[in-house]
Amino acid sequence: MRGPHRWRAGSACLVLGLEAEGHDVTTVEGMADGPTLHPIQEAFAVYGAAQCGYCTPSLC
């Protein structure tokens, strides 16, 4: 994508892979900096933001 990043959150189970073609995709698992959790990952763990397990397998 050119220009400034425009973020759009979505549920991976509701977005077809074809819809993401040509776009950068970042999952919650990819937000960590080594062993240090990203603040969003930390909030998921602290507040029990469990989803179906497909989108957040390492946090359930």
The 10s digit of each residue's pLDDT in 8-44 is: 777 777 788 888 888 888 887 888 888 999 998 898 8
- Give the count of domains, the chain: 1
The pLDDT score that the predictor gives to residue 1 is 42
Domain that holds residue 46: 1-60
Q: 13-52: buried (b, 16+ CB within 10 Å) or exposed (e) per residue? A: eeeeeeeeeeeeeeebeeeeeeeebeeebeebeeeeeeee
Check residues 22 and 55 and name the one with the higher pLDDT: 22
Q: Which pLDDT score, from 0 to 100, does residue 12 have?
A: 72
pLDDT number for residue 36: 92
